[in-house]
Amino acid sequence: MIDYEARAWLPILLQLRGSVIPRLVPRVLITGALGVVAMLLLERRGVKIPTLGHTLVGVALGLLLVFRTNASYDRYWEGRRLVGSIVNRSRDLARQVAAYLEDPEARAAFRRLIPAFYWLAAQTLRRRPDFGPAEPALSAEQRRALDGVAFRAPMLTRWMAELLRTEAAAGRLPEPRLQLLDANLTAFNDALGGAERILKTPIPFAYAQHIKLFVVLFCFSTPFVMADSMGWATPVASGLLALALFGVDEIGVEIEDPFGDDPNDLPLDAIGQGIDAAVGELLR
């Protein structure tokens, strides 16, 4: 994720990192070239497209693009809410462990396993097979136990639950407190499951294809509609229109999966470092 000052409009305008514009250049150039072709055909053959039908298609296309962007942003925001839920539950679980568990070894285990859960969840959401930043928090025996396991992060909630069971069996953790701690482990798995739902349920292909098809048809036919009224300004005007419409669609593609490594994706690494710091302070 890119941090920026919303009021600094000039730096925002000039920054290319995080912008979809570089990916749009080929499509914008094709549209501009078609503007030149449209002007030549108009001057030599009188070829042009009536504006009424094209305008009506543009209205429908605008509604489709708005819906596409809203659907993608809903996925982005829902992803942020679910990751934020893991942050909140991590802090609360660390608070409860600090207050309710007296055994130093159990507290030290939770100090390692809570951040490790987040890092393994982030690796899952990024489709990475390695342990990533969770590796230093896991013992060699734990890493061997996780080899070949498809759902690594939920396995850590099982280990934490077993630690709580051991403390309860030893008489050091009353049943009501055990239930409070276990509720946070359940919330971990619920949040991860919600994030996996976003990851594994893309925008339906038929919808994505339909929008792209009509954006291409609309933008590539626009020069032939503009030529009669815009003259030799048609290549520039049609190129700017293509930049706007292709850009809206590309932004939707950029943010519909918020868990990757793109500049506009969620800052999973920074969030994980925050969890590690907060858990460390609470369990110091």
Is 242 a member of any domain? Answer: no
DSSP string spanning 14-40?
H--TT-SHHHHHHHHHHHHHHHHHHHH
Using an 8 Å Cβ cutoff, are 268 and 125 in contact?
yes
Residue 188, both tokens: 């971990």
pLDDT in tens, the chain (284 residues): 777 777 888 888 888 888 899 999 999 999 999 999 999 998 888 888 888 778 888 888 888 898 889 999 999 999 999 999 999 999 999 999 999 998 999 999 999 999 999 999 999 999 999 999 999 999 999 999 999 898 999 999 999 999 999 999 999 999 999 999 999 999 999 999 999 999 999 888 998 899 999 999 999 999 999 988 888 999 999 999 999 999 999 999 999 999 988 889 999 999 999 999 999 999 98
CA torsion sign for 195, 200, 205, 208 is: positive
What's 11's DSSP letter?
H
Residue 69, both tokens: 């962007």
Is 57 a member of any domain? Answer: no
The CA-atom distances, in angstroms, between 106 and each of 101, 159, 174 are 7, 11, 15
Is 124 a member of any domain? Answer: yes
Is 239 a member of any domain? Answer: no
Is 259 a member of any domain? Answer: no
Is 69 a member of any domain? Answer: no
- Domain carrying residue 184: 76-201+267-282
Is 132 a member of any domain? Answer: yes
Is 181 a member of any domain? Answer: yes
Number of domains in the chain: 1
